[in-house]
Amino acid sequence: MRLPQAWQLAVLPCVAAATLAACSGPASPPSDAEGPARTGSTASSGAADSRLSVVTFAGTSPLSAEALRRTTDRLRERAKALGLRGVRVETRDGSVSVTGPTSGEARMRELGAAGRLGFRPVLAEEAVGPSQPSASPDPARGRAVTEDLRPRAAGSSSASAAPDPDPQDAPSAALQQQFVALDCSGNRAHSAWDRDNRPQDPVVACSADSAPADQRTKYLLGPTAVDGSHVASAKALRDKRYGNWIVRLGFDSVGTRKFSDLTGDLAVNASPQNQFAMVLDGAVLSAPYVNQRLSGGTADVSGGFNRQSAEQLAVTLNSGTLPVPLNVTSVTRLPHT
């Protein structure tokens, strides 16, 4: 899933919540959010445009009749939840086609996002922007706006790791070589789904493609500690105090316990192994620091959202992971009718 904006996030506590807030600039305090957002108001801008686009999705491998049916139903659910007007989702020749106003073509493409979410511990990270290929990130990133944020010491290496990790948790030599060779300076060339399809394995990953070239980071990540299946709810909300958009995640009882265990384990580690990565469809949306156990059972995701992108993420997470990964195989623009 290609996200509209880059997200750089950190962790803030609120009442019964762990808050993920912007790291790349001055961070906001815990929010009093209003909402939920009224979905669909920005999705119908193409109502007066008679042009239509047809976006065709196909599986990365041939789809069974059952997988095709479930995938089509899931995309219909997402389109309905987003309030996309004049959008039709159909099965055609073993693929799924989405037809709607050309002005909404970008949102139609995003209906096919896998929606695979996971929280993984960070084993190592390295900034890969052209202006600072191996330098530490901006000191403002992850700065301590509350005592639940642990700042990185000035001048510390962004590729450092805590000494003497448990041998069972240490990445293999092959994976370390993959981390060194990983190029995040441009679009990711390898499949996000394949890279994050085995939650029990450590992986290498890049920050979201939409991040500015001088703010991209590559990560070496441990196995998934909290799977997205334990996110019970996701709501797009607007912060009353600051006017920014957030997505509030609510964990189920298992997710609450696992997230508490994850943050409790990480809090005693040295940087960068006191971070966890929020990974969506293979891209790292955030890698915030923690220095205490977070057990509230909710998390507010913030930083760079507008209404449309917040609603898109909330709907994707609420609908659940697609039964199969999809690729856009064609986009056809029909003439005026």
- Confidence at residue 154, expressed as pLDDT on a 0 to 100 scale: 31
Rounded Cα gap, residues 54 and 143, in angstroms: 45
- Confidence at residue 98, expressed as pLDDT on a 0 to 100 scale: 97
Which tens digit of pLDDT belongs to each residue from 59-103? 988 889 999 999 999 999 999 999 998 999 999 989 999 999 999
Q: 139 preceded by cis ω (within 30°)?
A: no
Q: Which two tokens stand for residue 142?
A: 């992850």
The candidate with the shortest Cα–Cα distance to 83, out of 69, 101, 71, is 101
Top-confidence residue, 159 or 318: 318
Tell how far CA 92 is from the center of its chain: 30
Amino acid at 8: Q
Q: Is the pLDDT reported for residue 126 higher than 80?
A: yes
CA-derived radius of gyration, the chain: 20
The candidate with the shortest Cα–Cα distance to 332, out of 19, 15, 54, 104, is 54
Which tens digit of pLDDT belongs to each residue from 267-304? 999 999 999 998 888 888 878 888 889 899 987 776 56
Q: H-type helices in the chain, by residue range? A: 65-81, 105-110, 173-181, 192-195, 253-266, 307-319
- Confidence at residue 70, expressed as pLDDT on a 0 to 100 scale: 94
| pLDDT band per the 50, 70, 90 thresholds, residue 208 | confident
Top-confidence residue, 22 or 83: 83
Among 191-200, 223-232, 257-266, which is the least confidently predicted range? 191-200
Separation in Å, CA 191 to CA 87, 180, 188, 315: 28, 18, 8, 23
Top-confidence residue, 284 or 168: 284
pTM of the predicted protein model: 0.72
Task: Write out the DSSP string of 123-142.
Answer: EEEEE--TT-SSSPPPTTTT
Q: Which two tokens stand for residue 66?
A: 């059952």
Rounded Cα gap, residues 236 and 222, in angstroms: 29
